[in-house]
Structure 1
Amino acid sequence: MKHTNPGKEQFQRKLETRALQKRTLRVLAVDDEPSILELLQAALAEFENYEISVAGSASEALQAIESSETPFDCFLLDIQMPETNGIELLRRIRQIPEHAETPAIMLTAMSGRKYVEDAFLQGAFDYVSKPFDFFELRSRMHAAHLLMQERIKARRTSASVKNLREELDHNQQFSFEDPLTIDGLERCLKYVEFDNYIEQLSRGRLFESWVTAIKLQDAEFRFDLNDFGGFRRAMADLGRSIELTTGNSEAVFSYRGGGAFLVVVHGRDRAAGLPKEDQLNHVFSDTLGRRGASGYMRAVMSPPVSMRSISKTGAFAAMNNAIEKVDGREKALRKGTEVEPQQRCEVRVGRKEKSQKRLFDTVLREMYGNESYLAGK
């Protein structure tokens, strides 16, 4: 077992947080409205550790990035700009190696679902609709930067031992419930980004959105049997299979830990067009076979659950409901109980909702201990 010292780790995280608070964070704000840029400069300048640069277009922003001697720590991007919009600008920024992981927050009046979805799929960390509250914006910027620093640190650690892949797979320990990052998938969001995506959509009332849970059958048992790298690769294979089979439904999905993915689509027709369990498993089996994976693995699915909600709490309750349903199907299969692999789309009824802390806060609290993402407000 890997030895850990929770007290020491928590103390180190507090030191890192304080160091981040004292360090000047370089922010580039991009908007074609000079009044917005002036407002951002004036308001964020009140926070002592922010250095704000501005650009009035995508071309100016790219020039500022290229000419800057030090990489920026955060981007604030408007979407609706002439010539090159903010989403296309974000795509170009992500192609710059120094800014592949730099947090980008869309700061825009464009609240339509397509804009929200495209922004997150191009690598946005968060999405804030105008008009906005500057203290809330500062908190989100702070949370984004802390999380990205943690991810960059993890990637550097992995890169330093990339020539020892088998040893890394054996020794790189993680919890069964950890939300692993799966790279190389166009429509798969990381854990926190997915929560931010759902939260932003919930502001537009999720009347036509549906969520399905997909889980590796007996995932916990396989986690105990396999080395860590084997389990990670199995989940990556299942993620690729989900992307291949849900493309026509334009699904957005995320690995949630515990061997389970959540898949969100918009519209009853697209929910009905999600693959059947057998279809998914056919592709999953082919994916495993091409990699030469040993052993028989199968995925189980929940029926699509309506996210018909006017609140973020209701949206997350629907996600929990989908997870509960896929867990129920898995248990029924273990007992040999006959269960339909995928039922018709279900509309969640009733008002019983579990009391839960905000998932965004929970993830950051797990990473930083009692030092919440609001620290330093």
Structure 2
Amino acid sequence: MRVLAVDDDQSILALLQTALSALGLFEVSIADSGEEALRQIERAEKPFDCFLLDIQMPHMNGIELCREIRAMRAHHKTPIVMLTAMSERKYIDESFVAGATDYVTKPFDFYELRSRLSAAQRILQEHARANDSVEVARKLKQDLDSNLAIALSDPIAMNGIDRMLGFTEFENYIMQLNRTKRFTSHVMAIRVRDVEQHFDQMSNADFREAIQETGRALSKFTRKMGNILSYRGNGVFLCVCHGKASVLTPEQNEPLNRMLATMMSSRRFDVTFELEFGPPVSLRLTTRSGALYSLAKAATALDATPGVVSSKLMRLGRGQAKQSQSQRNDRLAYEAILQDLLAEEPSLNRY
């Protein structure tokens, strides 16, 4: 895995290059500034597989560099890990919004860093397989709707939408927030009403585009609040709110739906989506299981039917189209974590 580490501290660069190269899994190049990193990226005969970026650097900081790398076609999806001493939420938010895949704070543990880079490598391999599949589909000139067949539970990509994070990036963001012990942060679900009916009646391509337009409307509506968003499948968006002022209220539901109706009408959709809000759920839990439980609780909070959390969660991952092996593995791992949590803390079944 070809890694470019960027830091203005030569001792950190030497440590990264020596330690990671010794593992035998990584070929590490180094750059001591954002400008030098861009020059190396431009000169590289083969694109880098991953980037490790410090934030605090003169002239061009790591967040600006992350944004520059993301603008390059060859690195639109290349894993970018921020490796920094900055633990404030402002830097975490700006990094993920700029396109970061993960965030590691200094001083770091090399075993943890190796684990993060291995995860980044798996993401890279999944992207490569996805690109190969798209290329094969293009060559065979198959129908667009069958090529891009999706299940209702699929987390549709939201590329180019401000503050809208991908599935993996969003969970990494939540993990990082929990490490900073943010006690005023909440997550809430925003769901498309009658999403099953819309999914059954629309083509795959139209449904995908309508969900993406909904994401654009949410991003536009929450711009001043600075909320972080992610689409989780099943017509559910999750919204992270920092402080009471950024929590969406029932009074904002109607103006948001009016904005969405206007935007969908301008795109000439035959249907109009309507959104409903779930209650805010605290993100104060500081374990990985606790954080995932908070996300799952927010996603299921809109369900009025009494029942056990575990039974609801089992329904979240079910879709109508065939899932890829990686998606099934992700869901099984996700469900296992939640089941372990419920086994350890039976009181959670009351929710």
Query: TM-score interval w.r.t. the shorter chain?
Result: 0.7 to 0.9
> Which 5+ residue runs of structure 1 have no aligned equivalent?
1-24, 333-351, 358-362
**1:184 corresponds to which of 139, 160, 167:** 160
Q: 1:159 to 1:107 in 2, by over 3 A?
A: same
> Which of 302, 319, 323 is residue 326 of structure 1 equivalent to?
302
Letter in 2 for 1:206: R
Alignment map for 1:133-152 (pairs within 5 Å): 133-152=109-128
> CA separation in 1, counterparts of 2:324 and 2:243?
32
* 1:121 pairs with one of 92, 97, 111: 97
| Alpha-carbon distance in structure 2 between the residues aligned to 1:146 and 1:213 | 28
Question: Which secondary structure does the structure 1 equivalent of 2:63 belong to?
Answer: helix
1:1-377 aligned within 5 A = 25-155=1-131, 157-158=133-134, 167-271=143-247, 276-328=252-304, 366-367=326-327, 369=329
Whole-Å Cα distance in 2 between the matches of residues 279 and 73 of structure 1? 43
Once residues 89 and 38 of structure 1 are traced to their aligned partners in structure 2, the CA distance between those partners, rounded to angstroms, is 21
Q: Is contact 2:178–2:283 with CA below 8 Å preserved after alignment?
A: no
Confirm or deny: 8 A CA contact 2:167 2:231 kept in the other structure.
Answer: yes
What TM-score results when the alignment is normalised by the length of structure 2? 0.83
Deviation readout 1:325-352 (Å, 9 max, x if unpaired): 2233xx79xxxxxxxxxxxxxxxxxxx9
Which is worse superposed, 196-205 or 214-223? 214-223
Pairwise CA distance, 1:311: 3.2
Aligned residues: 322
Alignment identity in percent? 41
Verify the 8 A CA contact 2:195 2:234 in the aligned structure 1: yes
> Which amino acid counterpart does residue 269 of structure 2 have in structure 1?
A
Let me know the Cα RMSD of the aligned residues: 3.0
Task: Give the counterpart letter for 2:15 in structure 1.
Answer: L
Alignment check: 8 A CA contact 2:178 2:284 kept: no
Alignment partners' CA distance in 2, 1:103 and 1:196: 12
User: Aligned AA for 1:111?
Assistant: S
Question: How many angstroms apart in 2 are the aligned matches of 1:33 and 1:301?
Answer: 46
TM-score (norm 1): 0.77
The DSSP-based 3-state class of the residue aligned with 1:247 is coil
- 1:214/1:132 CA distance change after superposition, 3 Å: same
Unpaired runs of 5+ in structure 2?
315-322, 334-351
Shift of the alpha carbon at 1:34? 1.0
How far the C-alpha of 1:188 sits from its partner, in A, is 0.3
Q: Confirm or deny: 8 A CA contact 1:126 1:196 kept in the other structure.
A: yes
Aligned residue in 2 for 1:20: none
What is the identity, as a one-letter code, of the residue corresponding to 1:213? A
Q: What CA distance in whole angstroms lies between the structure 2 residues aligned with 1:160 and 1:325? A: 41
Partner AA of 1:220 in structure 2:
E
CA displacement at 1:159 relative to structure 2:
6.3
